[in-house]
């Protein structure tokens, strides 16, 4: 039986997760475009797929249902309305011009659902279509993308977040990722499994990325504000979760606007109801603003109470109603911690309280987790990590057993 689509914490027993198996979109990365496409190198794709398959197997071995984003998308694209929607959004870029747009629309409408999924995810290069002798196709370089590839689909965490029974369709800040949420929105709107799901937020709204959203406890959500999620994004998100009565407290957590700390989950993740694994080099300075509902109203007019800033761990423990949020540090010394933070040592995926998936390479952090009583499910990530994301980034929990 399908587990209800629901998540009210980071650590409730994981039942269903959405992953994206790395595919041809990664074969588009070159040393000329990898920075723009947010990868730190050019991964060995076959090995990345092997590592990812082992990740999925480790989840299944713990009774987690694994859904694949591309399979859901292909099933969604069986429907004519969904196809039209996907094609129109993919071709809305101003770089195409009407001649090429019209040609590509016909080309994509003729594609099967599987082919269309491949075009929407791996993109289309100018020399891969015979667009006739239109001006735009003639002037563009033959290797230019008409539809950009989406190599960061691998990080399903960022393009949607379930908060209780609602799917949050996020709004991604980097142009290379903006189109990802058009796909998650389409899946949650049109796929038979998700039809009728109530949604909050959307790709057209202020930026909030899933990697910044931590469900600290039922009713308590932390949102990182830095390179990706914006102050206005966290305000919009807070309004929506309060209005829908999904949470009573949102903690806005400023983080350095740097690549190494692009999301809150690159420096802190939960491994138990009262334990986080955290980057010690920021742990003592990390602060939070506490946002609660002052006066109810409709979404735009409800009044918010904002207090702070206070040390993050204290503000979080108070909101969670626990005495202390215990911190387990990444690494043993500052340099080791910096190395393991960079390699996603903090980016663990909890499968249940005290059980977490982590990259095997972060041996010092993993040893500390085990000393603290956490079962560590180790996976390889030498190639997967080249996009700067770990097990949490690569997973979108769709169903967790409720903690409350
Ligand atoms: N939650 C995460 O931290 N996701 C990792 C995203 C990595 C991706 N290459 C990016 O720069 O957006």
Which ipTM score applies to this complex? 0.98
pTM for this model (two decimals): 0.96
Confidence at residue 1, expressed as pLDDT on a 0 to 100 scale: 67
**Which residues make Cβ contacts (< 8 Å) with residue 32, sequence separation at least 6?**
none
In-domain check, residue 302: yes
Write the CATH number for 114: 1.10.3930.10
* Residue 389 Cα: closest atom of ligand 1: 5
Enter the tokens of residue 133: 């002798």
- Between CA 197 and CA 15 the distance in angstroms is 18
- Between CA 393 and CA 19 the distance in angstroms is 10
* Residue 387 Cα: closest atom of ligand 1: 9
Cβ contact 240:201 at 8 Å: yes
Pocket test for ligand 1, best of 29, 393, 395 (most atoms within 8 A of CB): 393
Residue 7 dihedral angles phi and psi, to the nearest 5° = -150, 125
**147, 165, 194: which is the final residue of a domain?**
147
Give me the catalytic one of 163, 277, 317, 393. 393
- 390 Cβ below 6 A of ligand 1: no
- 211 Cβ below 6 A of ligand 1: yes
Largest CA distance in the chain: 69
In a shared domain, residues 284 and 326: yes
- Between CA 90 and CA 338 the distance in angstroms is 39
Confidence at residue 370, expressed as pLDDT on a 0 to 100 scale: 97
Q: How far is the CA of 43 from the centre of ligand 1 (A)?
A: 15
393 is catalytic: yes
Q: What is the mean pLDDT of each run of 10 residues along the chain (404 residues)?
A: 91 98 97 94 96 98 98 97 96 92 95 98 92 84 95 98 97 96 97 96 95 98 96 97 97 89 93 95 93 90 95 98 95 84 89 97 93 97 92 98 87
In a shared domain, residues 41 and 165: yes
Confidence at residue 258, expressed as pLDDT on a 0 to 100 scale: 82
Domain count for the chain: 2
Pocket test for ligand 1, best of 344, 389, 397 (most atoms within 8 A of CB): 389
Confidence at residue 132, expressed as pLDDT on a 0 to 100 scale: 65
* Residue 210 Cα: closest atom of ligand 1: 1
- 170 Cβ below 6 A of ligand 1: no
Q: How far is the CA of 302 from the centre of ligand 1 (A)?
A: 32
Q: How far is the CA of 87 from the centre of ligand 1 (A)?
A: 26
Enter the tokens of residue 332: 């043993």
Please count the CA atoms within 13 angstroms of the CA of 280 that sit on its side-chain side: 15
Confidence at residue 270, expressed as pLDDT on a 0 to 100 scale: 98
Pocket test for ligand 1, best of 262, 265, 397 (most atoms within 8 A of CB): 262
Enter the tokens of residue 143: 């290797």
In a shared domain, residues 171 and 301: yes
* Residue 392 Cα: closest atom of ligand 1: 1
In a shared domain, residues 25 and 106: no
Confidence at residue 131, expressed as pLDDT on a 0 to 100 scale: 62
In-domain check, residue 7: no
In-domain check, residue 2: no
**122, 147, 172: which is the final residue of a domain?**
147
Three-class SS state of 116: helix
In a shared domain, residues 60 and 91: no
Between strands 287-295 and 249-254, the pairing is: antiparallel
For ligand 1, atom 10: residue with the closest CA: 38
Q: How far is the CA of 163 from the centre of ligand 1 (A)?
A: 20
- 393 Cβ below 6 A of ligand 1: yes
Of 68, 64, 69, which is closest to residue 16 (Cα–Cα)? 64
- Between CA 187 and CA 18 the distance in angstroms is 12
For ligand 1, atom 5: residue with the closest CA: 389
Of 186, 184, 176, which is closest to residue 160 (Cα–Cα)? 184
**C-alpha of 280 from chain center:** 23
In-domain check, residue 344: yes
- 5 Cβ below 6 A of ligand 1: no
Cβ contact 399:213 at 8 Å: no
Cβ contact 381:361 at 8 Å: yes
**147, 169, 190: which is the final residue of a domain?**
147
Q: How far is the CA of 352 from the centre of ligand 1 (A)?
A: 23
In a shared domain, residues 201 and 177: yes
Confidence at residue 280, expressed as pLDDT on a 0 to 100 scale: 87
- 389 Cβ below 6 A of ligand 1: yes
In-domain check, residue 35: yes
- Between CA 163 and CA 12 the distance in angstroms is 13
In a shared domain, residues 62 and 134: no
Please give the radius of gyration of the chain, using alpha carbons only, rounded to the nearest integer.
21
Q: Which contacts of 88-91 are long-range, i.e. CB under 8 A and separated by 24 or more positions?
A: 89/179, 89/182, 90/119, 90/120, 90/147, 90/179, 90/182, 91/147
Write the CATH number for 194: 3.75.10.10
Look at the chain and count its residues: 404
- Between CA 121 and CA 147 the distance in angstroms is 9
**C-alpha of 4 from chain center:** 20
In a shared domain, residues 173 and 191: yes
Pocket test for ligand 1, best of 387, 391, 397 (most atoms within 8 A of CB): 387
For ligand 1, atom 6: residue with the closest CA: 389
- Between CA 169 and CA 161 the distance in angstroms is 7
Confidence at residue 342, expressed as pLDDT on a 0 to 100 scale: 80
Q: Which domain covers residue 125, as residue numbers?
A: 72-147
Confidence at residue 345, expressed as pLDDT on a 0 to 100 scale: 82
In a shared domain, residues 247 and 341: yes
Residue 295 dihedral angles phi and psi, to the nearest 5° = -145, 130
In-domain check, residue 269: yes
- Between CA 117 and CA 183 the distance in angstroms is 10
Tell me which H or E stretch contains 55. Answer: helix 45-60
Q: Which contacts of 141-147 are long-range, i.e. CB under 8 A and separated by 24 or more positions?
A: 145/28, 146/95, 146/96, 146/100, 146/104, 147/90, 147/91, 147/93, 147/104, 147/119, 147/120, 147/123
């Amino acid at each position: 039986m399908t587990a209800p689509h629901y998540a009210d914490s980071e650590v409730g027993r994981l039942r269903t997760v959405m992953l994206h198996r790395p595919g041809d979109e990664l074969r588009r990365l070159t040393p000329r475009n990898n920075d723009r496409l947010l990868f730190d190198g050019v991964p060995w794709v076959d090995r990345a797929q092997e590592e990812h398959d082992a990740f999925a197997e480790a989840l299944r071995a713990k009774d987690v249902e694994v859904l694949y984003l591309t399979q859901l998308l292909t099933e969604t694209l069986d429907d004519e309305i969904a196809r039209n929607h996907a094609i129109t959004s993919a071709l809305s870029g101003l770089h195409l011009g009407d001649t090429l747009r019209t040609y590509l629309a016909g080309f994509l409408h003729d594609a099967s659902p599987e082919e269309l999924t491949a075009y929407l995810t791996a993109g289309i290069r100018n020399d891969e279509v015979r667009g006739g002798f239109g001006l735009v196709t003639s002037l563009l370089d033959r290797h230019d993308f008409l539809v950009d590839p989406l190599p960061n689909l691998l990080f399903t965490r960022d393009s949607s977040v379930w908060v209780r029974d609602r799917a949050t369709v996020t709004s991604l800040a980097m142009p290379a990722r903006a189109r990802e949420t058009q796909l998650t929105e389409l899946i949650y709107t049109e796929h038979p499994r998700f039809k009728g799901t109530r949604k909050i937020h959307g790709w057209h709204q202020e930026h909030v990325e899933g990697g910044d959203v931590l469900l600290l406890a039922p009713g308590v959500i932390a949102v990182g504000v830095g390179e990706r999620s914006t102050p206005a994004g966290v305000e919009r998100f807070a309004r929506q979760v309060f209005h829908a009565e999904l949470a009573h407290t949102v903690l806005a957590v400023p983080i350095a606007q740097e690549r190494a700390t692009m999301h809150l989950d690159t420096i802190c993740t939960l491994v138990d109801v009262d334990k986080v694994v955290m980057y010690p080099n920021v742990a003592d300075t990390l602060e939070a603003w506490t946002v609660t509902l002052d006066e109810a109203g409709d979404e735009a007019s409800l009044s918010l109470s904002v207090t702070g800033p206070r040390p993050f761990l204290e503000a979080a423990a108070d909101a969670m109603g626990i005495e202390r949020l215990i911190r387990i540090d990444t690494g043993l010394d500052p340099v080791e911690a910096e190395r393991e933070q960079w390699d996603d040592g903090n980016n663990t995926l909890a499968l249940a309280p005290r059980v977490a998936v982590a990259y095997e390479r972060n041996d010092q952090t993993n040893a500390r987790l085990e000393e603290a009583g956490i079962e560590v499910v180790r996976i390889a990530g030498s190639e997967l990590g080249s996009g700067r994301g770990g097990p949490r980034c690569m997973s979108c929990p769709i169903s967790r057993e409720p903690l409350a």
